Amino acid sequence: MTVVRQQISHPNLQKVISFRDRSNLVFKSTPIMRRLLDAVLFLCCFAGVITLERKMSTTLNPGCGPTCDDTGTVVVYTRAEGLADVVHHLWSTVGGRPTFMVAVTPNPSQLSIDWERFIEDHAPPGSITFEPQLPTTVFAFVIDKLIEFTDVNNTGRMDEMRSDVRISRLDMLEWTLATLDNSSTSFEGRFKPKGTPGLVTIKLNAFGEEGHGDLLPHLYHSSNSSQVDIVLDSVPNSFHGEPHAHTRRLALKLVAAAAPAHSPVRIVARRSLDDEHSPGVFEVTEVLASNRHSDFGGYLQWKNVSYNWAEGRTMTNSTVLQNYAVALASESDVGGTLVGALLGSPVNGSDMTPVTFSAFNVSIGAKDDNYYTKTNYATWTLLVGVGQPVEEQFSTIILAILIVGLGLPTLLIIFGICCIIVRRFTKRTNEIILSQ
């Protein structure tokens, strides 16, 4: 369990020290340059030294006891407690569909689940609440459907070709809790009937501070977000035996819910200048449930890359993610899940209203990447959070390299120009004196 504290060190400090030592070999004969380099590196480190962490704790089925054990109910709850507020992360496969929810409440506030109603009535509205104060922000999404389509024209997209499309609900899988620790959880979904090959793995991490995820593409997260890493491994081919079965691609349909809804949910694509942590990947996609100037609402964020090799995640073994237009959804689309249990509760009718429900698809693959059938393996890593998504900045070591690589030559050029001007002025002055 982490504790609330101020850091007195920086994660990149060792890298900076190592860079400084190597740089001294270059500048060892120039003390002024060496001192300038030390000052630059110190300022770069100091800029990121002080951060605030949240106190993290994780509970399986909080307050339930033997009832949940007997029914196989799984609700993972991670509480990220700050000084003024609490970020609540809830993950579950109740209802057969993986659901991920982030809510913010003032501190203190506690999660309350009416387990008897939640289990017997299949997560009805009102069975999840927060006490004594309701959330100021809730953002959640449900992985609703698995989509298979044949890409006969090899375009990589569902909306630009004539193809067969087959849609399956995620409750066709048998979900189990694979791992659980203080801030990390994983679920495994196996296809029915029992013995059918194929596995869907979902790994989740909640965060109490800013930083990069451990897995490529190393997404940059805030203390108000969690990471969802989805692996589609050997998903059964429903087109097996048909002429275009080898052109099969996969997509996922997501249903997102946001409360309160200050603006329509929209998808925004942007480019990043830095690929230090995810080589070769510059495109970032965000699903935003708030405007850029609001601290309320939530978001999904991912880099447009899917790794398609089980032995390791590398740029050479990857393809792209394709997103499609946002469509309206309704409360019925999240019925029987955590989302329906909370957002159909007293939150509906309080200051949290209105609640927006949206749906969109994300497909995996691009033109000429040999389809999903090439490796029968694909990944998708994304962040779900509240507030505004954080934008990745250049790391300390990159900033130091840029400053040293660009700043010092500029200073040398300016110094050289000044020397030339002074020399010419001195020479001209001497000529005038000699001529008198």
pLDDT tens sequence across 396-431: 655 566 566 667 788 888 888 888 888 777 766 666
Going by pLDDT thresholds of 50, 70 and 90, the confidence category of residue 273 is: low
Above 80 in pLDDT, residue 377? yes
Above 50 in pLDDT, residue 9? no
Determine the distance from the C-alpha atom of residue 163 to the mean position of all C-alpha atoms in its chain, rounded to a whole number: 31
Nearest to 329 by CA among 353, 303, 355, 304: 355
Above 90 in pLDDT, residue 182? no
Of 12-21, 110-119, 312-321, 354-363, least confident by mean pLDDT is 12-21
Above 80 in pLDDT, residue 308? yes
Question: Amino acid identity, residue 369?
Answer: D
Above 50 in pLDDT, residue 49? no
Nearest to 229 by CA among 238, 217, 237: 217
For the segment 11-32, the average pLDDT, to the nearest whole number, is 42
First to last CA, the chain: 84
Give the pLDDT confidence of 195-233 residue by residue, as tens digits. Answer: 899 999 999 999 999 999 999 999 999 999 999 999 999
CA distance 100 to 255: 11
Please provide the DSSP assignment of 270-295 as one string: EE-S--SSSTT--EEEEEESS-TT-S
Above 50 in pLDDT, residue 349? no
Above 70 in pLDDT, residue 165? yes
Q: What is the pLDDT of residue 106?
A: 94
**Of 236 and 395, the one with more pLDDT:** 236
Q: What is the pLDDT of residue 436?
A: 61
Above 70 in pLDDT, residue 350? no
CA distance 130 to 128: 7
Going by pLDDT thresholds of 50, 70 and 90, the confidence category of residue 14 is: very low
Q: What is the pLDDT of residue 98?
A: 98
CA distance 172 to 379: 20
For the segment 61-66, the average pLDDT, to the nearest whole number, is 93
Above 70 in pLDDT, residue 53? yes
- Strand 110-113 vs strand 99-106: parallel, antiparallel, or unpaired? unpaired
CA distance 76 to 184: 10
Q: What are phi and psi of 14, to 5 degrees?
A: -65, -40
Give the pLDDT confidence of 113-148 residue by residue, as tens digits. Answer: 999 999 999 999 999 999 999 899 999 999 999 999
Q: What is the pLDDT of residue 232?
A: 98
Give the Cα-Cα-Cα angle 59, 201, 245 (nearest 5 degrees). Answer: 155
Nearest to 184 by CA among 214, 216, 210: 214
Q: What is the pLDDT of residue 175?
A: 96
For the segment 344-371, the average pLDDT, to the nearest whole number, is 80
Above 90 in pLDDT, residue 345? no
User: What percentage of the chain carries pLDDT values higher than 70?
Assistant: 77
CA distance 395 to 13: 11
Q: What is the pLDDT of residue 28?
A: 43
The pLDDT mean for the chain works out to 83
Going by pLDDT thresholds of 50, 70 and 90, the confidence category of residue 1 is: very low
Specify burial of residue 345 (Cβ count, 10 A radius: 0-12, 13-18, 19+): buried
Q: Helices 13-27 and 31-47 sit at what angle, rounded to 10 degrees? A: 170
Q: Where are the alpha helices (DSSP H) in 92-161?
A: 115-120
Specify burial of residue 430 (Cβ count, 10 A radius: 0-12, 13-18, 19+): exposed
Q: What is the pLDDT of residue 206?
A: 96
Q: What is the pLDDT of residue 54?
A: 93
For the segment 177-185, the average pLDDT, to the nearest whole number, is 90
For the chain, the structural domain boundaries read 13-51+394-426, 55-386
Q: What is the pLDDT of residue 22?
A: 40
